[in-house]
Amino acid sequence: MKLLNKGRYDARFAETDDDLSAAQTLRTLAFRAAGVPDADAYDADCKHVLITDHKSGTLVCCFRLMPIQNGQAIHRSYSAQYYELSGLSDFDGPMVEMGRFCIHPDWADPDILRVAWGAMTRFVDENGVEMLFGCSSFKGTSEQDYLDAFSLLRDRHLAPKRWLPRVKAPRIFSFGGKSGRKPDLKAAMKVMPPLLRSYLAMGGWVSDHAVVDDDLGTLHVFTGLEIRAIPPARARLLRTVAG
């Protein structure tokens, strides 16, 4: 099922086993060492979005969406393995977890991310989703590379207290209190993942700690976005792409 076509890119849902296999292959390229396929039990419960270059047919981006009725079912999510999310159990609107987002390493066109957000926007609007959430990943497992970024997240972008995820994973890096490191804004934004930058620009928020994920070789932070909190001008831009 096609979601949208913008410029040279098409976004559609995976419909066949071959489609899912193609997404898993790209995920393997992005997240795994050679010979270690990226597939898990959550794939069966998700809708998989594929973004292709319509001239060459190359799969340039993929991600998966897990619809969740409301916060009472958030324990089903991938993120719930790593974060204690009982605070979000009171969220009473439809939610969707977005995960395994990756762009082909040989493709650097910023329009790919724009099309991805356009596809997500269409899904959110058509399904009345009120919160988008997931894990935003930083490459590698050394927090030393990201101290400015984590300090910036601590100072400006922590989740509201009522939604704040608590520690569950055995290995984490705590962002600490306000009296900690003062972030260098330029250095912080240089290493901030593009997807997370987009979340933050729309009013998104994060957990107060990063999880050390040895399986994927990443540090990740829980990220949430309440749809009604998106600035009107930004929402109009997203819907222009999605339209």
- The string of pLDDT tens digits covering residues 69-111 is 999 999 999 999 999 999 999 999 999 999 999 999 999 999 9
User: What integer pLDDT is reported at residue 180 of this predicted model?
Assistant: 66
225: three-class secondary structure by DSSP: strand
Using only C-alpha atoms, the chain has a radius of gyration, in whole angstroms, of: 17
pLDDT (tens, 9 = 90+) of the chain, 243 residues, equals 788 888 899 999 999 999 999 999 999 999 987 778 999 999 999 999 999 999 999 999 999 999 999 999 999 999 999 999 999 999 999 999 999 999 999 999 999 999 999 999 999 999 999 999 999 999 999 999 999 999 999 999 999 999 999 999 999 999 986 556 789 999 999 999 999 999 999 999 999 999 999 999 999 999 999 999 999 999 999 998 887
pTM of the prediction? 0.94
Dihedral sign for Cα atoms in the order 230, 154, 114, 75? negative
Question: pLDDT tens digit string along 45-64?
Answer: 999 999 999 999 999 999 99
End-to-end CA distance of the chain: 16
Which pLDDT does position 177 carry in this prediction? 65
pLDDT score for 125: 95
Residue ranges of domains in the chain, CATH in brackets = 2-242 (3.40.630.30)
Predicted local distance difference test score (pLDDT) of residue 40: 96
What's the confidence (pLDDT) of residue 162?
96
- What backbone torsions phi and psi does residue 232 show, to the nearest 5 degrees? -55, -40
- Count of CB atoms within 10 A of residue 215's CB? 10
Which spans in the chain are helix H? 17-31, 110-127, 147-156, 185-191, 194-201, 232-242
Residue 98 to residues 133, 179, 190, 225, Cα–Cα distance (Å): 6, 33, 23, 11
Dihedral pair phi/psi, residue 17, rounded to 5°:
-60, -35
DSSP state of 158: B
Task: Specify the pLDDT at position 241.
Answer: 87
Q: Copy the structure tokens of residue 169.
A: 């994973």
- The C-alpha angle 139, 142, 145, rounded to 5 degrees, equals 75
